[in-house]
Structure 1
């Protein structure tokens, strides 16, 4: 048995906070932009400490992750074994679509001022090396409910189980301590949703709305959100770690959920999306998608805290740089 300590993960497992900022950016063209982002990697942890020490009780944290094409452009080989561009599922209006994204920041705290300050400092350090393509400010809604009124994240793993389901181990030893994270931005048709009876909503979600108790199997529809996002392998449930946040602009009629799921492999999250958007079996899709539309989608790799800092001194070889895309501004 090795005495070498396991790599320290980023703040993937930090408790859910009252506020969050999600930033997705694309890498701009040119060697200078790539060099800036690499150098920025060793500044992230220090900036989190700098802002967080002002109010330690507010639980400020930041997770930084990279998309597939950005990894090749910034760091070259080796690369995380399961990192690939976001896979699209479904068709027509019911599509889990891929959208541009090379860099993801997931900033959390119990007060928005700390989130805002850290986001500002991190963005300023990046300068014109990146272009922000999406930014969402999320908030806790009552007792951790989504905008649609149901409690979110009930089945999250906890403690040791959370680590086992989300942190890479010996299966990709060079990237041990890392995780994969998938994000999607959903907009809800609240007028149509609120026109449903509570009983109809409960059938779509698979839970009682007030108590959050799961519906009995003999009455829970196989097309419910709960049924289609429950995975089993060899008789054991396979879980992911969600830290979804509601967001919205009532004046603009915008109401949404920012989905963010962490796992040690993209496979379980992708299987959940296939079940939702295609159906299990095909055609038996998640009826929540009749009222919710995914408008973004990205897959990213979260390096361990130690690896993130060391990436500042890592770059593609000359041969890799020659074939890397000039700009990684396409879908993650």
Structure 2
């Protein structure tokens, strides 16, 4: 498959924006025209991944609705944590290497959609140091390598939506002060990796409630691998991570979220949730470039 949206696998960009919109217009032709205008890049170095929530795709192009696309609903954990939904209609992830151009593209998208939608969330982010989260740990270490990333991320041939991907967006706000008060050895037990060189803990050194343990999931012997493209954000007001993942099947995300919340048989919650809070969550579908062009045709 070579007609996936290129931004999905872009590993070179270091400046990002994610913007989420609720579509308020009922005129399908107007909606499609606005999206066509929005996705035109302001510069050849900018890449955009556009994806659709289930409700919007049912409205503008129901024949292109993949079988497993659903709206995200708030999940409550057995141990007092929860992951809230802010399910919307239309999602844009902008990737670039120049903050000015990423901002220009963000503004262009917002202006193109003005009058047919409302902004639900818009977050700017960046590559922090050597691909680290603001906690100081390397992020995305468990991503599949080489060709395996395509198998993890893309809907396989023969399935509706083939060459596209299911997308999950989730904003997390860190309590960095609380986390940084922990000794480094304790932080490593929370994450499940060493801090400096990002080596996964092994044997008795790996807690069952570490972040690695809770998200390293298997189902019927199959590893539930996903393609993570998260980015940190930060200011004096908020600091956190915009968790973004692409998957061939949303069940792979569901099982990881349930394991983090303690909703599986072993009942263990992810320790990271004592130091970081999920404040949003949404599913969408990013079609292949060929299918996207068809969806947006009048």
TM-score normalised by length of structure 2: 0.93
Quote the Cα distance in structure 1 between the aligned partners of 2:188 and 2:226. 22
State the partner residue of 1:13: 9
Is 1:52 the counterpart of 2:47 in the alignment?
A: no
Asked whether the equivalents of residues 262 and 269 of structure 2 are also in contact (C-alpha less than 8 Å), the reply is yes
1:195 pairs with one of 176, 181, 204: 181
User: Which residues of 2 match residues 56-95 of structure 1 at below 5 A?
Assistant: 56=45, 60-91=46-77, 94-95=81-82
Q: Which deviations, in whole Å up to 9, do the C-alpha atoms of 1:63-97 show, x marking residues without a partner?
A: 00011111112222352100111043224851111
State the partner residue of 1:39: 33
Asked whether the equivalents of residues 90 and 278 of structure 1 are also in contact (C-alpha less than 8 Å), the reply is no
Quote the Cα distance in structure 2 between the aligned partners of 1:312 and 1:236. 36
Q: Which deviations, in whole Å up to 9, do the C-alpha atoms of 1:179-236 show, x marking residues without a partner?
A: 0000100011112111111111111100011111111122100110001101224544
User: Which residues of 2 match residues 260-271 of structure 1 at below 5 A?
Assistant: 260-271=244-255
Q: SS at the partner of 1:296?
A: coil
Quote the Cα distance in structure 2 between the aligned partners of 1:154 and 1:235. 21
TM-fit CA distance, 1:110: 1.5
TM-score normalised by length of structure 1: 0.84
C-alpha RMSD of matched pairs (Å): 1.8
Q: Which runs of 5+ in 2 are unaligned?
A: none
Q: Relative contact order: is structure 1 or structure 2 higher (C-alpha 8 Å, sep ≥ 6)?
A: 1
Aligned pair in 2 of structure 1 residues 27, 134: CA closer, same or farther (>3 Å)?
A: same
TM-fit CA distance, 1:42: 3.6
More helix per residue: 1
TM-fit CA distance, 1:176: 1.2
Q: Which runs of 5+ in 1 are unaligned?
A: 1-5, 315-332
Larger radius of gyration: 1
Q: Which deviations, in whole Å up to 9, do the C-alpha atoms of 1:127-175 show, x marking residues without a partner?
A: 21110110000111111110111100011123311111111123424x2
Quote the Cα distance in structure 1 between the aligned partners of 2:142 and 2:293. 32
Q: Which deviations, in whole Å up to 9, do the C-alpha atoms of 1:236-294 show, x marking residues without a partner?
A: 433111111111112x2x11110001001111011100100124435310011011110
Quote the Cα distance in structure 2 between the aligned partners of 1:22 and 1:93. 29
Is 1:24 the counterpart of 2:10 in the alignment?
A: no
Asked whether the equivalents of residues 57 and 64 of structure 2 are also in contact (C-alpha less than 8 Å), the reply is no
Quote the Cα distance in structure 2 between the aligned partners of 1:186 and 1:135. 13
Aligned length: 296
Asked whether the equivalents of residues 42 and 311 of structure 1 are also in contact (C-alpha less than 8 Å), the reply is no
State the partner residue of 1:307: 291
User: Which residues of 2 match residues 181-220 of structure 1 at below 5 A?
Assistant: 181-220=167-206
Is 1:146 the counterpart of 2:133 in the alignment?
A: yes
